[in-house]
Amino acid sequence: MASMEPKFPADILFGQEGEVQRQTRSQAGSGKEAARLVSVVVACCGQLEYTRLCVPSLVRHSRQPFELIFVDIGSLDGTPEYLTGVADTAPVRVEIVRATTETDFGAAAAEGLARARGDFVVWLNNDTIVTNDWLQQLVSLSSSHELIGMVGPMSNYAPAPQRVANVPYRIGARAKAPTTDHSRLEGNLADIETVDQFARQWREHNRGQWFETERLAGFCLLIKRAVFQKVSFFDEQAEKGRFDADALSRRIRQAGYHLACCQDLFIHHFGSRLVAS
């Protein structure tokens, strides 16, 4: 990205008719950015088959240093046992916060976020598959200007303008018996190789591209800790077991920050029923 003035440059804002302004950024992150801890908070609401695809992709594709914090909302399908196995053997710090029912979502999610120690906090649905360099790209864009408060990726299942309408692959979650053996986390990687291949091609085709947007979908969000400390992550919807990403987007913009999307970063989203709206 070209150097920016102290005030957010007007040429990256929406045009008069609301069109998204596409921009280019540098792909290289500074050593300082690369050394900053990222807390990845993963929301789980049952559906172990998705979590068993999400977690291996996180372990494989997340750059160090990072930590994992799972917020488990009333899962009865083996998810608690699976997450315990991940915590026992994962190569990074793992925390698990559990809620009995969806009505306890707000308190559990707040506790999960409170345990985050990173300079950046990611909110991620468990029905996602992250791809190579995803954290580098999100952190790099977020760090490119002090007024970029929250960033997100492109995906096959997301509202415009984050949506990639046509993807050349098909993938379905495969339910398997729960395991506490972390070494078997790599077992599903063959299933998601097609996603990785497309993500690499997408990145090359859109290398360095990003855009500002009025809202970001809630399946994958990275927010700076400085913003996180100023803006409430949740509103009253959390008491009903829902995370309102639109409301969060508005609060961040009202606080004077901007939202940006990595156009060259693609992650897969199954789009199942989860707590993120």
CA dist 176 and 40 (Å) reads 24
In the block, which residue shows the tokens 């440059």? 9
Look up the CATH architecture of domain 20-269: Alpha-Beta Complex (3.90)
Task: State how beta strands 258-269 and 148-155 pair.
Answer: parallel
Q: Which pLDDT value is given to residue 19?
A: 41
How much is the CA Rg of the chain, to the nearest whole Å? 18
Q: Which pLDDT value is given to residue 35?
A: 84
CA dist 251 and 254 (Å) reads 5
Domain limits of the chain? 20-269
Q: Which pLDDT value is given to residue 69?
A: 98
User: Which residues does 117 contact at the CB level (< 8 Å), separation at least 6?
Assistant: 37, 39, 67
Q: Which pLDDT value is given to residue 268?
A: 96
The Cβ of residue 103 has, within 10 Å, a number of other Cβ atoms equal to 13
Q: Tens place of pLDDT for every residue, the chain, 277 residues?
A: 333 333 444 444 433 333 445 667 655 455 677 789 999 999 998 889 999 999 999 999 999 999 999 999 888 889 999 999 999 999 999 999 998 877 788 889 889 999 999 999 999 999 999 999 999 999 999 999 999 999 999 999 999 999 999 999 988 765 343 344 444 444 444 467 899 999 999 999 999 999 999 999 999 999 999 998 899 887 554 455 567 899 999 999 999 999 999 999 999 999 965 554 4
With CA atoms as reference, report the closest residue to 67 among 120, 138, 137, 143: 120
Q: Which pLDDT value is given to residue 227?
A: 94
Q: Which pLDDT value is given to residue 178?
A: 37
- Model confidence, pTM: 0.84
